[in-house]
Amino acid sequence: MTLLLDIISTAAILFIVAAGLLAIFGVLKIINFAHGAWLTVGAYCAVVTTELGLNPWFALPLAFILGALLGGLTERFIVRPLYRRPLDAILATWGLGIVIGQLITLWFGRDVHFTTALMQGTVDVLGTSYSFYRLFAVLAALAIGLGFAFLLDGTRLGLSAQAVIMNEALARALGIDTEKVRLATFMAGAGLAALAGVLLAPMTSVDPNMGVPWLTGAFMLVMVAGTSFGALAVACLLFGAAQVVVSTFLSPILGGITVAVLCAITLRIRPKWFARA
């Protein structure tokens, strides 16, 4: 039972972390290397909320808005000029990640920060006591997933984004303002990453480099999932399960690289497997 809960909640956390990255990858076809920095910015929003003595839940909207704003600036001034040089765009976002990390360090110092917990304690699930917050993470992941499903299928912007994901040239020919779609997507992706940072804060330490350990797993999951949120959810469940199983029965050290290595092998052998699923 614990194993099952571990798997589901691990998958949920992976999904929360990777969702913003996937949104950007789907529309702009670039991996945002500053993703770790957005996570960190989000977590520091929680720190600020705590320091100001505000309700910890307030950090969620704050992070989303701040992330979206920064994302908008990044898209406009860094990503857009590099539209035709995608590898350079990646590098530039990486450089931006360094800059944000150093700025946070200068401002808040390198020390580990602490935030007010959103919720504490354990609950009994069918006779097993389990961390309440991890179960909440599952709900959060579901909310994000469903939210995106609604955004994509139920709104004009979402439909435009879908068109851009499938065929950008055609979408532009159809009169869709692809530039606007890209900007909106980047903002949403960055906002979501910052949101993920807030959600991670109670489980991890908050320090300037907190985003880094999450990067590789998220990158590889997104590469595997391609452009579909459904595929991402499946990938998170499968590879998250693999991580938990390897950690539990083999070694947690191997578990730490399970996601990245399995994703790489999957991509090499069955590159289109998940995209089709």
In the complex, minimum distance from the CB of residue 200 to another protein, in angstroms, rounded to a whole number = 8
- From residue 186, alpha-carbon distances to 179, 190, 199 in Å are 11, 6, 20
- From residue 259, alpha-carbon distances to 75, 160, 200, 214, 222 in Å are 29, 32, 19, 11, 11
Q: Does 228 bind another protein (CB under 8 A)?
A: no
In the complex, minimum distance from the CB of residue 3 to another protein, in angstroms, rounded to a whole number = 7
Residue 129 phi, psi dihedral angles, 5° rounding: -85, 135
In the complex, minimum distance from the CB of residue 91 to another protein, in angstroms, rounded to a whole number = 5
Per CB under 8 A, contacts with another protein among 24-53 are: 29-31
Q: Does 82 bind another protein (CB under 8 A)?
A: yes
Output the DSSP codes for 137-197: HHHHHHHHHHHHHHHHHHSHHHHHHHHHHH-HHHHHHTT--HHHHHHHHHHHHHHHHHHHH
**Per-residue binding letters, 233-252, with another protein (x by CB under 8 A):** ----------xx--xx--xx
In the complex, minimum distance from the CB of residue 144 to another protein, in angstroms, rounded to a whole number = 19
**Per-residue binding letters, 163-202, with another protein (x by CB under 8 A):** ---------------------------------------x
Q: Quick one: 55 or 156, whose CB is closer to another protein? A: 55
Q: What 3-state class would DSSP assign to 109?
A: coil
Per CB under 8 A, contacts with another protein among 197-226 are: 202-205, 207, 209-210, 212-216, 219-220, 223
Part of the chain binding another protein (CB under 8 A), chosen from 41-49, 89-97, 140-148, 175-183: 89-97
What is the C-alpha to C-alpha distance for residues 181 and 159, in angstroms, rounded to an integer?
10
Which of 65, 73, 76, 94 forms a contact with another protein (CB under 8 A)?
A: 94
What is the C-alpha to C-alpha distance for residues 113 and 59, in angstroms, rounded to an integer?
15
Q: Does 61 bind another protein (CB under 8 A)?
A: no
Q: Does 139 bind another protein (CB under 8 A)?
A: no
Q: Does 271 bind another protein (CB under 8 A)?
A: yes
What is the C-alpha to C-alpha distance for residues 14 and 221, in angstroms, rounded to an integer?
9
User: How many residues belong to the chain?
Assistant: 277
What is the C-alpha to C-alpha distance for residues 95 and 88, in angstroms, rounded to an integer?
10
In the complex, minimum distance from the CB of residue 190 to another protein, in angstroms, rounded to a whole number = 16
